[in-house]
Structure 1
Amino acid sequence: MSLKIRLSRGGAKKRPYYRIVVADSRSPRDGRFIERIGSYNPMLAKDHPERVVLNTERAKHWLSVGATPSDRVTRFLAAVDLGPARHIPKQTKKHLPGQKAQERAAEAEEAKKAAEEAAAAEAAAPAEEAPAEEAPAEEAPAEEAAAEEEAKAE
């Protein structure tokens, strides 16, 4: 029989209250348990002394017998120096981007930096003006016709 130290939910809707219990891992969350060793009230302030109440002697006993605490209970036990503070990542590996995606993002970032450096170098270089090609001004055919008509009228 594998034992778990876990939370059992109680309280009303949107007003949670948890009991810290030792239970068989096969029993339901709010179902049968072996012993109640504390309570957790998340509605209280984080620095309130009654937010987490834990019978440390019984917790030590159940840990020595081989009970495994849940993630949240592990944090409570670490707060009273009963166990190692296990780092629990919020994101699992399946939610992190893959190696290819990370490589593509790094390449895109490098390309962006290179483009910025090129733009900065271009702005810093003295601008050389290209000689303007001067083409002889040609009159439009409509203007030529208008000029001829004026000459005839005079």
Structure 2
Amino acid sequence: MAVKIRLRRMGTKKKPFYRIVVADSRSPRDGKFIEEIGYYNPLTAPKEVVVDSEKANNWIKNGAKPTDTVDRLFRENSVYNTEKDSKDTAEASESEATE
């Protein structure tokens, strides 16, 4: 089963609101999904994106592929920062401090 992280359109006509969901790639855009991990509101002045980054990283680690739009939203909102990355930066800052 190919799993994707994608946007599910909600809201009314001409006023879109999206939920970020994990779904089987064969299911329809607004159809059945496995888990909701956040939402995206493009209509607010600063576009509002709320994502549970722990769940998102867990799904990505298990093989889920984000769509292009979701990938861009994740990059803009630092969802891809993992514990390993934060440990590497902490070690680098410690080595700079000791030198």
TM-score, scaled relative to structure 1 = 0.50
| Alpha-carbon offset, residue 77 of structure 1 | 1.2
| Residue matched to 1:82 | 80
User: In 2, Cα distance between the equivalents of 1:52 and 1:41?
Assistant: 6
| Residue matched to 1:31 | 31
| Residue matched to 1:148 | none
User: In 2, Cα distance between the equivalents of 1:70 and 1:44?
Assistant: 22
User: In 2, Cα distance between the equivalents of 1:3 and 1:81?
Assistant: 18
Name the structure where strand makes up a greater proportion of residues.
2
| Alpha-carbon offset, residue 81 of structure 1 | 4.7
User: In 2, Cα distance between the equivalents of 1:43 and 1:55?
Assistant: 21
| Residue matched to 2:17 | 17
| Residue matched to 1:64 | 61
| Residue matched to 2:88 | none
User: In 2, Cα distance between the equivalents of 1:81 and 1:28?
Assistant: 25
User: In 2, Cα distance between the equivalents of 1:28 and 1:4?
Assistant: 12
| Alpha-carbon offset, residue 76 of structure 1 | 1.3
Name the structure where helix makes up a greater proportion of residues.
1
- Tell which structure's C-alpha radius of gyration is larger: 1
Any stretches of 5+ residues in structure 2 without a counterpart? 82-99
| Bigger RCO of structures 1 and 2 (CA < 8 A, at least 6 apart) | 2
User: In 1, Cα distance between the equivalents of 2:75 and 2:33?
Assistant: 23
Q: How many residues align?
A: 80
User: In 1, Cα distance between the equivalents of 2:79 and 2:35?
Assistant: 21
User: In 2, Cα distance between the equivalents of 1:19 and 1:60?
Assistant: 17
| Alpha-carbon offset, residue 45 of structure 1 | 1.4
| Alpha-carbon offset, residue 60 of structure 1 | 0.4
| Residue matched to 1:41 | 41
SS at match of 1:37: strand
Match for 2:13: what amino acid? K
SS at match of 1:16: strand
| Residue matched to 1:119 | none
